[in-house]
Structure 1
Amino acid sequence: MVNCCGLLTSNKEPVPLKSIEVQLEVRDHVATVVSTLNYENKEDKPLEAVFVFPLPGDAAVCHFSATIGQTQIVAEVKEKQQAREEYDDALSSGQQAFLLEESEQSPDIFSLSVGSLPPGESASIRLEYVTELAVQADDGLRFCLPAVLNPRYEPQGRKPSQLNVSVQVTSVPASLVPYSLSFSARVSSPRPVSKVESSCSLDPLQYLNTEQTQATVKLAAGHKFDRDVELLIYYKDAHQPTAVVEAGQASAKPGTLMGDPVVMLSLYPEFPQSVMSSVSSCGEFVFLMDRSGSMGSRMNNSESHQTRISSARDTLLLLLKSLPMGCYFNIYSFGSSYEHIFPVWSTSQETMEEALKKVEVMDANLGGTEILEATQTYLQPALHSQPLFVFTDGEVSNTKDVINLVKKNSGSHRCFSFGIGEGSSSALINGLAKEGGGHAQFITGTDRMQPKVMQSLRFALQPAVVDISVTWDLPKGVSVTALSPPITTLFQGQRSLIYAQLTGQSSDAAEGCVTVKYSLAGHPSQNQLHFSLKPEEDTGLTVHRLGARTLIRSLEMEEREHRGQQDGGVKEKVVELSVQSGVSSSFTAFIAVNKGNNEPIRGPLVRRDVPIPSECFSNTMNATIIKQPSRDPLLQLVSLQKASGCWVLDPALAAALGKTSEEVEKPKPASEVWATILALIWLHGFKMDAKEEWELLAMKAVSWFRAQNAVFSHSVSSANDFLKLFCLFFSTMCGRVCGSWKYTVRLCGAERCPGALSF
């Protein structure tokens, strides 16, 4: 008879996992995460507890240990099959054993097995990993502790032998997770910490010094384990190139990765303005929309927020309206099946209207997430580099197959990926962008998707950077071995990370220099960074482990690309590097066996699958019928802009401006010039806080003005009076930025006046 005391699943089964404690340490833009999982067996039989959970897809797991009473067992990294056999052998002989392994299909899913936990026994599992922090559209650094693991969709017709059968996900609604989470963070940086924000409630930020370069923060009391924990960390002067040289491990052999110093460079390329302003931005855009059933779930647990598919629809509207004149586009959507809007590329007002009508009725009604087959259809060789925008909640199991396909086509498609909602696969979203030469964004909680997507559009409108090379200038006797793959993508002001192993001796005063050379629109350019070669000692080998993780991921991709064509040499390299560095891989696992037990644990083991929160627990295959909140007035106005850049004076525009048709038409005769001026002044007057969302389409409107050769200063004055705003004048129209006319708006003569704005 099962003793139903303690924590219970929704099926009334006891859960041996009692609590999770997470400590985060952020140093500049690198994070170290220590998670402690506390287990207790309150049943009368020995247990095997299996917990499948998410981690950031680019994390480097570097420590795993178990504490039972006063005994601590530190796990070793071994080849995966060997580790599994040792685990099974230990359980069969009555020994306690612990196994941690990464999914073979997606590096953001891990399985933790706690074996032979005796009745009444407690155990604490310590898991440590390091990860880089991604830079967001507003220059914040994003850390995400994944709490939600949605069921991964299995592609139709997939052979069972291809699956990692040891990984089984047990999901419950997030509100019913039967264990607690505590979370605290410490942030330190050479630059002051401006603020820390989160999708979850936080206690006030506490500064630890007068320079405000160190601070602590933690989750507020009463936090429910019902969402991912996301932190956004802001530093002053964040866009500064940096270099960290980390000393090698004293016990490791010189000449090896762990024995030599490793350098991590953070570069922020700055492109010449003369080149940027002279480049045409016309292109061919592919928009790929996930319409699987799980996209019908809400962005978060609040009833007032949109569904994922609704948010994606609004964002696609903004993207289409913001495309510069002369751009071609097509829209594809996928689920269990896939479809496209046009048989050929489109750019006219008529096709734009047709596309918007079809986007408006897109729903999460296409079943499963067959993203691989859909992507194979769309990724055809192209004469020019085509930006590919992928919107998905990322609930697929064949992550590596999809990423590999995008990499093979990266010569003709730059991939910009967007993970929508809690539980989206960070491995899929980041992998698509990294291997596709684009940029990744995550939209969760109360985030507005639009600012992040507009940042990606600006990147896509930047000219493609080619012929990228990295050269090193180091003292005599010091050599360098690259750990990062060659740089294939550079964007204006966006961070690029480079890891390299330094071999040889140098003085503490010695300096090195790295130069990134590239060609931009036919113009050769370069950026340099000088740095000290003196190693930092107290860094916990974080840089080494991140460098090892980077090299491991590159080798895994190489092995996957050439599977069946090689003799396993690449896999052997991965295993050797993983064991040497203590960093997880898809071919290795952490194994710990408690060999100190005098008495074997007797009796048949009872397996208990520890549940994980799931946003889409109710139905991931069928669309959900959810009442939508009313449309944002900004998006309502944006939807009315014509492909040429102008607005038309009609009842819909009047309603978007909060006026009647009679009120709008009274000050001036009905005309497109009058309507467009009203729209632009409304944007400047009421939506300056969302300027990054609409400035590209405003530039397009100004280009339309220029083509009209119209004199409209009196109309601007009338529009200001009509909307009861400030005095606004278009004072200049000069230069070109991303193919759109640059203009200056001068605001003056009112208490709301913020001065002169140029964009």
Structure 2
Amino acid sequence: MNCCGLLNAEKEPVPLKSVEVELEVRDHVATVVSTLNYENKEDKPLEAVFVFPLPGDAAVCHFSAKIGQTEIVAEVKEKQKAREEYDDALSSGQQAFLLEESDQSPDIFSLSVGSLRPGESASIRLEYVTELAVQADEGLRFCLPAVLNPRYQPRGSEDVCIQVTSVPASLVPYSLSFSARVSSPRPVSKVESNCPLDALQYLNTEQTQATVKLVGGHKFDRDVELLIYYKDAHQPTAVVEAGQASAKPGSLMGDPVVMLSLYPEFPQAVMSSVASCGEFVFLLDRSGSMDGSRIKSARETLLLLLKSLPMGCYFNIYSFGSSYEHIFPKSVEYSQKTMEEALKKIEEMGADLGGTEILEPLKHIYSQPCIPSQPRQLFVFTDGDVGNTKEVIHLVRKNSGSHRCFSFGIGEGASSALINGLAKEGGGHAQFITDTDRMQPKVMQSLRFALQPAVMDISVKWDLPKGVSVTALSPPITALFQGQRSLVYAQLTGQSSEAAEGCVTVKYSLAGHPSQNQLHFSLKPAEDTGRLPVHRLAARTLIGSLEMEERESRGEQEEGVKKKVVELSVQSGVSSAFTAFIAVNKGDGEVLQGPLVVRNVPTPRMMACCMPMPQYRKSFSPVVQLNSYRRPQSKVSESSLPKQPPRDPLLQLVSLQKASGCWVLDPALAAALGKTSRKVEKSKPASVNQEVWGTILALIWLHGFKMDAQEEWELLAMKAVSWLRAQNAPCVTECVEAGNALLGFNVQKDALGI
């Protein structure tokens, strides 16, 4: 065995030496150019197979290889044809390169580099464009996924074709260099990352252009997350991109394409009336990979969620792994009794249910009849490693009329295709929570969205100059949330003068009130970058809709849709589920000597605590392996367990709140406030009952001590204020003054909202 050079876990040499990534962000569209440098240090010809994640909605639009001075640009072809061409090239001694999307999930790609002669180097260039999602704090999130956790394949499933070779993150044997250029019509206020960055460099005095890069010597041992903040980020915008001169007018690539970013603003009167009804279903991943801080954070988040629910709603909590469990046989009305029962069960939840079988609990939830006048809101928490992503998303789409789905991707390696797909098809909102993030603020933002009244009857109306017609490329908008971006792509056919203007109006009904938002925009195309990112993203959006349609159609219709996808993919140069990029180096035709050796390039694995259970099946990939996880069980005596760390003071106080919103004056509340029962009792104004006094003290403590975490407790405080108002308690002003004196604050009555 050759043990020189870079080695993977199996002690085989690793042909991938380094990864270079250049990111260009224009407003909220990112163009990513990755260069992967390979070198064969062995004495045999080599085939290198690298399986890696990309953002699920990325449009891969360029793939080329450089060997010595020869550059070969790949073409998009129907997948089976591309695979056959690749095999034929290798068997006739030619070099070939194949890039294809996994059949199960659009965020997994397989790159086959075959064949590298002994001592030979190759540079692979891969380009994709993607939209940047808006985060809870208005930052735009770009993620360069490094971590590919082995996808859990459901039992009984034969359809496996993902090759994953994983090593612990610390042993990843290739380096990453990463630089980014950001430009926007609005100033760039800051750029943050989970990895060390060099200082942000502004390129102009308006601060609308900037560059930043990772500190040198970065090991590509985790996802690289970049958060970009603009001033006045919530302005609606329109970008018109001119078509490709070489493409036929009237075709998608030949015509101009417009991308609209809409931020609906709802009337304040409607927004202030938070819904007091709904069926809230929480679905929590308890697979082995959730062990440790992830499951602890999830339990704490469920506590906050349950305390923040409105009286009169219904709820249930499901958890899943290889099997699934529920706290109640069906959703129950929210009350003190049902809340306490649920919290008791949550405390006992561990990451001990094995694999990640999310499909069956979802089927069970959808089989439950909806409760009249209680709109269903589904919250899904998972670290998102499943092999049947497309099937799961299809199920959510099929049931999209009966609920809204809010999804949360937890930790490194969470599948963006799964998390974004659940929210997109379920008319909800997606959030990504890395292991360094606090889960609670993001989840509470989604609960605020879920409590917003559902927007009905959404329509988009275009007003364009004579001679210009429009073809929508995006699926119809099914969900709108206050201040959250909605993207619309459309093809513009026909001629207009340079100075011409268009107008788009989004009409909808909110809580029975008709409403609309309007955007006027110039039809003059933006400066041409030659990369056509808007066209590529529009093509990817249309391809995604057609792929979903193909899953729902049968027979001739299915074949017709598939043909449409292949045609669109080839025309736009954007990858799809039915196409692949193929490049063949015809070269000198010299036949390779000796057998071709396969080397699988390892990707980082973030979960050291899990035990792999491989499954195998013959397929096009040289080797097929998927891992599922079950945490080893062992009996431990109570005395040997480590003592529980003291609970976070905020969670301590929140855990004492009643379902109605009030706090009862007892020794536990006094302790949470940091006072003795005697002192708290003694400070109480005589005419006030204990629940009113306890509730006012809790509100003063939250405002005085925990303003930095207000987004976490805001909803449960609103519930407490509603309860107080309903009591018509006397001497509220006196209570607030006495509470401030006791706790050492100066919180005004108005600030408390009472």
Counterpart of 1:60? Answer: 59
Deviation for aligned residue 1:565: 6.7
Which letter does structure 2 place at the counterpart of 1:646?
Answer: C
SS of 2:749's equivalent in the other structure is strand
Counterpart of 1:730? Answer: 749
Deviation for aligned residue 1:97: 0.4
2:167 aligned with 1:172: yes
> Which segment is superposed worse, 215-224 or 254-263?
215-224
> Which segment is superposed worse, 252-261 or 634-643?
634-643
Structure 2 counterpart of 1:689, from 697, 703, 708: 708
Counterpart of 1:752? Answer: none
Deviation for aligned residue 1:56: 0.3
Counterpart of 1:491? Answer: 481
| CA distance in structure 1 between the aligned counterparts of 2:631 and 2:749, rounded to whole angstroms | 47
> Which segment is superposed worse, 465-474 or 236-245?
465-474
Which letter does structure 1 place at the counterpart of 2:305?
Answer: L
Q: Which residues of 2 match residues 325-404 of structure 1 at below 5 A?
A: 325-344=311-330, 345-380=332-367, 381-382=369-370, 383=372, 384-404=374-394
Does the 8 Å contact 1:321/1:638 carry over to 2? yes
Which letter does structure 2 place at the counterpart of 1:338?
Answer: Y
2:205 aligned with 1:225: no
Structure 2 counterpart of 1:482, from 469, 472, 489: 472
SS of 2:317's equivalent in the other structure is strand
Which letter does structure 1 place at the counterpart of 2:472?
Answer: A
| CA distance in structure 1 between the aligned counterparts of 2:645 and 2:571, rounded to whole angstroms | 53
Counterpart of 1:739? Answer: none
Deviation for aligned residue 1:561: 1.5
2:24 aligned with 1:31: no
Does the 8 Å contact 1:73/1:594 carry over to 2? yes
Query: Where does the alignment leave 5 or more consecutive residues of structure 1 unmatched?
Result: 299-306, 732-743, 746-757
Which letter does structure 1 place at the counterpart of 2:354?
Answer: G
Which letter does structure 2 place at the counterpart of 1:702?
Answer: V
Does the 8 Å contact 2:428/2:479 carry over to 1? yes
Structure 2 counterpart of 1:559, from 540, 550, 566: 550
| CA distance in structure 2 between the aligned counterparts of 1:261 and 1:465, rounded to whole angstroms | 31
| CA distance in structure 2 between the aligned counterparts of 1:140 and 1:331, rounded to whole angstroms | 31
Which letter does structure 2 place at the counterpart of 1:674?
Answer: W
Output one character per residue of 1:109-158: Cα deviation in whole Å (capped at 9) or x when no partner.
Answer: 00000001000000000011000000011111011111111011110111
> Which segment is superposed worse, 62-71 or 529-538?
529-538
Structure 2 counterpart of 1:712, from 712, 724, 732: 732
| CA distance in structure 2 between the aligned counterparts of 1:278 and 1:682, rounded to whole angstroms | 26
| CA distance in structure 2 between the aligned counterparts of 1:543 and 1:184, rounded to whole angstroms | 22
| CA distance in structure 1 between the aligned counterparts of 2:681 and 2:188, rounded to whole angstroms | 51
Q: Which residues of 2 match residues 415-434 of structure 1 at below 5 A?
A: 415-434=405-424
Deviation for aligned residue 1:603: 1.3
Residues 464 and 90 (structure 1 numbering): CA distance in 2 closer, same or farther, change over 3 Å? same
Which letter does structure 2 place at the counterpart of 1:76?
Answer: E
Counterpart of 2:681? Answer: 665
2:512 aligned with 1:525: no
Does the 8 Å contact 1:25/1:186 carry over to 2? yes
Deviation for aligned residue 1:616: 1.8
| CA distance in structure 2 between the aligned counterparts of 1:403 and 1:247, rounded to whole angstroms | 33
SS of 2:333's equivalent in the other structure is coil
> Which segment is superposed worse, 399-408 or 530-539?
530-539
RMSD after superposition: 1.7
Counterpart of 2:102? Answer: 103
Residues 9 and 630 (structure 1 numbering): CA distance in 2 closer, same or farther, change over 3 Å? farther
SS of 1:379's equivalent in the other structure is helix
Does the 8 Å contact 1:364/1:622 carry over to 2? no
Deviation for aligned residue 1:398: 0.2
Output one character per residue of 1:682-725: Cα deviation in whole Å (capped at 9) or x when no partner.
Answer: 11111111111111111111111112111222221121122112
Deviation for aligned residue 1:266: 0.2
| CA distance in structure 2 between the aligned counterparts of 1:151 and 1:617, rounded to whole angstroms | 12
| CA distance in structure 1 between the aligned counterparts of 2:51 and 2:256, rounded to whole angstroms | 35
Q: Which residues of 2 match residues 307-322 of structure 1 at below 5 A?
A: 307-322=293-308
Residues 279 and 5 (structure 1 numbering): CA distance in 2 closer, same or farther, change over 3 Å? closer
Does the 8 Å contact 1:283/1:386 carry over to 2? yes
Does the 8 Å contact 2:455/2:510 carry over to 1? yes
Counterpart of 2:622? Answer: none
| CA distance in structure 2 between the aligned counterparts of 1:671 and 1:523, rounded to whole angstroms | 42
Counterpart of 1:207? Answer: 202
Does the 8 Å contact 1:640/1:647 carry over to 2? yes
Does the 8 Å contact 2:23/2:32 carry over to 1? yes
TM-score by length of structure 1 reads 0.93
| CA distance in structure 2 between the aligned counterparts of 1:328 and 1:271, rounded to whole angstroms | 26
> Which segment is superposed worse, 667-676 or 361-370?
667-676
Counterpart of 1:443? Answer: 433
Deviation for aligned residue 1:323: 1.0
Deviation for aligned residue 1:665: 3.2
Does the 8 Å contact 2:240/2:256 carry over to 1? yes
Deviation for aligned residue 1:199: 1.2
Structure 2 counterpart of 1:257, from 252, 257, 266: 252
Deviation for aligned residue 1:537: 3.6
Counterpart of 2:654? Answer: 638
Residues 631 and 46 (structure 1 numbering): CA distance in 2 closer, same or farther, change over 3 Å? farther
Does the 8 Å contact 2:79/2:580 carry over to 1? yes
Query: Where does the alignment leave 5 or more consecutive residues of structure 2 unmatched?
Result: 611-627, 634-640
| CA distance in structure 1 between the aligned counterparts of 2:320 and 2:231, rounded to whole angstroms | 42
Which letter does structure 2 place at the counterpart of 1:87?
Answer: Y
Structure 2 counterpart of 1:576, from 567, 586, 609: 567
> Which segment is superposed worse, 380-389 or 332-341?
380-389
| CA distance in structure 2 between the aligned counterparts of 1:3 and 1:15, rounded to whole angstroms | 11
Counterpart of 1:754? Answer: none
| CA distance in structure 2 between the aligned counterparts of 1:519 and 1:646, rounded to whole angstroms | 34
Residues 80 and 268 (structure 1 numbering): CA distance in 2 closer, same or farther, change over 3 Å? same
Number of residue pairs the alignment of both structures matches: 720
Deviation for aligned residue 1:678: 1.6
| CA distance in structure 1 between the aligned counterparts of 2:146 and 2:360, rounded to whole angstroms | 29
| CA distance in structure 2 between the aligned counterparts of 1:147 and 1:423, rounded to whole angstroms | 8
Residues 559 and 123 (structure 1 numbering): CA distance in 2 closer, same or farther, change over 3 Å? same
Residues 13 and 278 (structure 1 numbering): CA distance in 2 closer, same or farther, change over 3 Å? closer
Counterpart of 1:622? Answer: 630
Counterpart of 1:536? Answer: 526
Residues 475 and 565 (structure 1 numbering): CA distance in 2 closer, same or farther, change over 3 Å? same
Does the 8 Å contact 2:100/2:579 carry over to 1? yes
SS of 1:336's equivalent in the other structure is coil
Does the 8 Å contact 2:550/2:558 carry over to 1? no
| CA distance in structure 2 between the aligned counterparts of 1:596 and 1:653, rounded to whole angstroms | 78
Deviation for aligned residue 1:447: 0.6
Which letter does structure 2 place at the counterpart of 1:70?
Answer: Q
Residues 420 and 563 (structure 1 numbering): CA distance in 2 closer, same or farther, change over 3 Å? farther
Which letter does structure 2 place at the counterpart of 1:667?
Answer: S
| CA distance in structure 1 between the aligned counterparts of 2:248 and 2:692, rounded to whole angstroms | 73
Does the 8 Å contact 2:146/2:224 carry over to 1? yes
Which letter does structure 1 place at the counterpart of 2:425?
Answer: E
> Which segment is superposed worse, 186-195 or 619-628?
619-628
Which letter does structure 1 place at the counterpart of 2:547?
Answer: E
Does the 8 Å contact 2:609/2:631 carry over to 1? no
Which letter does structure 2 place at the counterpart of 1:470?
Answer: V
Which letter does structure 2 place at the counterpart of 1:446?
Answer: T
Deviation for aligned residue 1:63: 0.5
Which letter does structure 1 place at the counterpart of 2:33?
Answer: V
Structure 1 counterpart of 2:269, from 251, 271, 274: 274
Does the 8 Å contact 2:177/2:217 carry over to 1? no
| CA distance in structure 2 between the aligned counterparts of 1:404 and 1:74, rounded to whole angstroms | 34
| CA distance in structure 1 between the aligned counterparts of 2:339 and 2:533, rounded to whole angstroms | 50
| CA distance in structure 1 between the aligned counterparts of 2:196 and 2:148, rounded to whole angstroms | 21
Output one character per residue of 1:555-600: Cα deviation in whole Å (capped at 9) or x when no partner.
Answer: 0000011245735000000000000000010000000000123422
Counterpart of 2:113? Answer: 114
Deviation for aligned residue 1:639: 1.4
Output one character per residue of 1:19-49: Cα deviation in whole Å (capped at 9) or x when no partner.
Answer: 1111111110110111110000000000000
TM-score by length of structure 2 reads 0.93
Does the 8 Å contact 1:512/1:530 carry over to 2? yes
Does the 8 Å contact 2:286/2:295 carry over to 1? yes
Give percent identity, aligned residues only: 82
